[in-house]
Amino acid sequence: GFLFYEEGVTEAAGRVIEAVDRERLAIARALGVRVLSEPDLGVLQGYMREANYSTGYSTAPGFLGIGAQTQLDNRYLTEDVGFSLVFLTDLARRVGVETPTMEALITLASVVLAQDFRATGTRTLATLGLDGMTGSELAAL
């Protein structure tokens, strides 16, 4: 029973968010795509006041009052890890970008939920029909 962003996004949690975002930005760069950092995007879209990985989230008007989940088997792990992080790490391998923080989070979520997110591979280059493409071909999409 705590507020997910206001109380949950501490300085340490902010460092994890930043590490994941830096890996996401590196994947985009490797594909020749310019994307904004997560907090920069939040400020631009108006749900955050400051482009900061910790206080930007914990003080964001768009996140005020959101309670934490009551169980670990929640979309914040099953979807964000199972769909987003698994796909991003697959894409990163194809374009030669290391993603140690994303990989660690996939491993932790898999252990916590007793579900191998990599093995289930719901969203990967293969499941999207992109498995035979090179990094250059993916960048051209």
Structural domains in the chain plus CATH codes: 1-68 (no CATH), 71-140 (1.10.1040.10)
Longest Cα–Cα distance of the chain, Å, equals 47
**Could you tell me which of 52, 55, 115 has the C-alpha nearest to residue 79?**
115
Tell me the CB-side half-sphere exposure of residue 9, using CA atoms within 13 A.
20
The two three-digit tokens of residue 80, written as one number: 């964000």
Ordered DSSP codes for 20-40: HHHHHHHHHHHTT-----HHH
| pLDDT tens, N- to C-terminus, the chain (141 residues) | 899 999 999 999 999 999 999 999 999 999 999 999 999 999 999 999 999 999 999 999 999 999 998 888 888 889 999 999 999 999 999 999 999 999 999 999 999 999 999 999 889 999 999 998 988 899 888
